[in-house]
Structure 1
Amino acid sequence: MTAATDLAERPEPRRKTISSPYIHKLQRRHFLLFDIAPILGTLAAVAFLGVHPLGWTELGLLVGFWLLTGLGVTVGYHRLFTHRTFRTTPAVQAVLAVLGSMAGQGAVISWVALHRRHHEFSDREGDPHSPNLSGGGLVGALRGLAHSHFLWMRRHEYPNVVHYAPDLIRNRALVKVARGYYWWVALGLAVPALVGGLVDLSWQGAVSGLLWGGFVRIFVLEHIVWAINSFLHMFGTRPYESRENSRNGGIFALLTLGESWHNNHHAFPESPSFGLDWYRLDPGFWLIKALEAIGLAWDLKTPSDERRESRRVRPAGA
């Protein structure tokens, strides 16, 4: 066998990303439906206040569905499916995947593939949403923030799920949840509309429930999550060594359900606790600990004190 024949028969290496006009068309559609539409829906909610004033029902739907879907993203999409920081039952996996899907941030397997690629290339070429690759100076910083916070989703190289999420595509139940993504988003809009209509016994209550528990809730949660990608890769504290520019924003810990301990997370991605210390607020970890207490979560892999100390940033000259 000649060298040329051997080379011809050798399989090509698996592609890490896929880019095609069809995929870019799907990305534009998702961007319009789940990134632009919530902005319009939020404006409509404000305008609709002239028809139906904001009440406790709307506030309850906004906060309640924000909390449920936000926990679906941080505990399910992020800590469980992306980083495998703990193990749980198939039923809990399914519930977390459905709640995360209702957030409108992408199907679970695609989300995981994107986030694993982000960790592989964080703040380097190949990172889907770094704010630090758009040039220097004020203009470069503003361009980077706009890209990482919002604009990158219009069109980007799609991570190959066969490469980045082979464990998830072997999970048949999770694949079924991912395939029903659009239906789960629709359910996340329909339920608050139904609740609002039943509580108020009017079409105005249903519309108000849809707007505040649906579109406004998606808008608020999206921008909270996107701020982690953008602002917390430029501003904040950095207690631990990490190869990228991740930062902590502890003041936003409750609002982000613990995600704003971003430097902690990049330094110890295997940890289910992002706060790391008991006094650092981390509602996502509180849920995981509650599941552990009733036997529905196990194998939590928090870093040891020795490992944390080895990664701590030292003062200059120390």
Structure 2
Amino acid sequence: MEVVIFVLMLWYGGLFFQSFFLHRYAAHQVFTMSKTMERLTFIFTWVFQGSSYLSAYGYGVMHRMHHAYTDTEKDPHSPSYDTNAFAMMWKTKTIYQDINKQRVSIDERFTKNVPQWKGFDRFASSRFSRLLWITLYILFFVYFVTAWWQWLLLPITFLMAPIHGVIINWFGHIYGYVNFKMKNTSKNLFRFDFLMMGEGYHNNHHENASRANFGVKWYEIDTTYIIIKLLDTFGVIRLKPIKTKD
């Protein structure tokens, strides 16, 4: 039981910081926060994403490119131009690393105001950091596993962030329903997004990328947005005024 709880904590903790910090803050900047809070959130993102830590800069820039080039050859991740989910994940990894290590020239519109903490990112993305987390995960499993099938959950802990990404960027462009007809394949995966904390409302998000709440219909409950509203109410962050469609 401890192993299942641990994996669920990593799943939803890592997912929250990916959605809250990397996606809605770094990429779309739907709210503001102090520099101290930003640095703390970098650290919390590393703690919960662990061995699959993603840089706010690399993720933010790449995601802006995804919105600008959705379902075209320039899209960093699209089922329309990748033969399978694994091919898309590999291409995404390569593009992400090129951006994060600044090996390619990027249009300023994609990099403007994207948060970056170079020293911390070098450490959090290092082989040492990733192997440290992997070792800790293995030790936890060794100590707490009570049934053979629980070992099947171990690879998920290693690759949590890429798994979250492929659910949205692959399946979220193939399966689901649409509220808005657009010139792209984005879909809403669930009517109540219990699995992805609001990220599954991908069609809604593509309709208006600067909207903090990804839910549109009354039943589309965006749990990440609920937490954002609470943080805004207590003054931890500041939501920006609602904008029209990007």
Relative distance call for 1:154 and 1:207 in structure 2 (3 A) is: same
Q: Superposition pairs for residues 1-318 of structure 1, below 5 Å? A: 56-101=1-46, 102-103=48-49, 104=52, 106-133=54-81, 143-148=83-88, 150-153=89-92, 155-156=94-95, 158-159=98-99, 160=105, 163=108, 164-168=110-114, 174-182=117-125, 185=130, 188-189=133-134, 196=140, 204-205=142-143, 215-251=155-191, 253-277=193-217, 279-302=219-242
Q: Number of residue pairs matched?
A: 230
Q: CA deviation at 1:225?
A: 2.3
Measured in 2, the distance between the counterparts of 1:191 and 1:144 equals: 31
Measured in 2, the distance between the counterparts of 1:185 and 1:252 equals: 33
Which residue matches 2:102? none
Bigger fraction of residues in helix? 1
Moved more, 97-106 or 231-240: 97-106
Q: CA deviation at 1:207?
A: 8.7
1:241-298 per-residue CA deviation (whole Å, 9 max, x = no partner) reads 4332211112571211111100111111101111135531212112211211211121
1:174-199 per-residue CA deviation (whole Å, 9 max, x = no partner) reads 333322223554564466567x49xx
Give the structure-2-normalised TM-score: 0.77
Greater radius of gyration (CA): 1
The code of the aligned residue for 1:270 comes to S
Unpaired segments ≥5 residues, structure 2:
100-104
Unpaired segments ≥5 residues, structure 1:
1-55, 135-142, 198-203, 312-318
Relative distance call for 1:239 and 1:70 in structure 2 (3 A) is: same
Give the structure-1-normalised TM-score: 0.62
SS at match of 1:298: strand
Q: CA deviation at 1:117?
A: 1.0
Q: Is the 8 A contact 1:61 1:192 kept in 2?
A: no
The code of the aligned residue for 1:129 comes to H
